[in-house]
Amino acid sequence: MLTLKDVDAYYGNVQVLRGMALQARAGEILCLLGRNGAGKTTTLKTIMGLVRAQTGTITLDGEDITALPAHSVPVRGIGYVPQGRRLFAEMTVAENLEIGLMTRGRGRDVRERMLDLFPVLRDRLKQVSGTLSGGEQQMLAMARALCLEPRVLLLDEPTEGLQPSMIALIRDVVTQLKGGDTAVILVEQRVEAVLSVADRVLFIENGAPRETVDAATLRADPALVQRYVGVG
């Protein structure tokens, strides 16, 4: 389980997280919802050590990872798929996957599982990843992060800018992670996407956690979305 307690973070002198707190449990999908600039992406970056938590603690299965250097966080079992995919554009699909496998010393069996999960990548192994479609790039970014066999997977707007068929594919894969050993923290702007996959939703406002509700509560009370996201 990943736990954040009273985490404050800053960009220079500007405070961007104020007492951030959340719990992500194995087999569960926790969605972060909030307006633009609310602190959703910063929360993920703080977990990854890319933005330093000034106060508070971040623990993974009881181990304090708050002060770990950024490159040590994935080795502990946290995978991150940032906004915009960030592939190694000149490397092939196979090479991108290999880099992911190397992080935690995973082998061919994990690679095969990823290719079963994203069959379209199997046909593209030798293709330079920068030439893939947006949806295929997103699948590769997710497959590469899953090659770590992460205990926690952080997804930052994975369906942004994708066509509906690709969104459905990505959603299916995320849904398949439910009930497994991986906790998923999903940042998503599209409320209907959140409702279709989330177990719980954490609303964030001005860098602070406001309310955590389960998906059923959110469906029954659209005013919550109106209050924190401004759409309904």
Partner 1 sequence: MIKSILLHGAVIALLIVLEPVLSEYHHGNLARILVLATYAVGYNILFGYTGLLSLGHAMFFAAGMYGCALMVRLAEWSVGPAFLFGVVCALVAGLVVGMLALRTIGVGFMIVTLMFAEAAHLTIAYYNEYTRGDEGFTIPQAVRTVAGLDLSDTTTRYFAALVLFSVCLIGSAALVQSRAGRVLVAIRENEDRVRMLGFNPFRYKLLALVLSAVMAGAAGAAYAVLFGYAGSTFASVQYSIFPLLWVLLGGPGTTLGPLLGTVLMFYLVDYASGTVMPGLAAFVEGSFGIEAPGLASAYLLLVGIALVLLVLFAPRGVLGVVRARVMPWLP
> Should residue 39 be labelled a site residue for partner 1 when binding is judged by CB under 8 A?
no
Which of 69, 165, 192, 223 binds partner 1 (CB under 8 A)? It is 69
> Are the C-beta atoms of 146 and 154 separated by less than 8 Å?
no
Q: In this complex, which beta carbon is closest to partner 1, that of residue 119 or of residue 130?
A: 130
Task: Evaluate the CA torsion angle 131, 136, 142, 147 in order and state its sign.
Answer: negative
The span from the CA of 46 to the CA of 56, in Å, is 11
Phi, psi of 68 (to 5 degrees): -65, 140
**Contact flag: residue 103 with partner 1 (CB under 8 A):** yes
Residue type, 112: E
Q: Is 50 in the site for partner 1 (CB under 8 A)?
A: yes
> Which helix (DSSP H) or strand (DSSP E) does residue 138 occupy?
helix 134-146
| 140 scored as a contact of partner 1 (CB under 8 A) | no
Stretch that binds partner 1, among 5-13, 93-101, 160-168, 194-202 (CB under 8 A): 93-101
Of 29, 20, 77, 3, which is closest to residue 186 (Cα–Cα)? Answer: 29
Give the CA angle between residues 203, 167, 4 to the nearest 5°: 30
In this structure, the number of other CB atoms found within 10 A of the CB of residue 208 comes to: 17
| Region binding partner 1 by CB under 8 A among candidate stretches 21-29, 97-105, 162-170, 204-212 | 97-105
- Name the β-bridge partners of 63: 60
Find the binder of partner 1 among 67, 75, 216, 231 (CB under 8 A).
75
Q: Is 158 in the site for partner 1 (CB under 8 A)?
A: no
Stretch that binds partner 1, among 99-107, 161-169, 208-216, 218-226 (CB under 8 A): 99-107
**Residue from 48, 65, 174, 198 that binds partner 1 (CB under 8 A)?**
48
Residues in contact with partner 1 by the rule CB under 8 A? 48, 50, 69-75, 80, 82, 86-91, 95, 98-100, 102-104, 144, 148
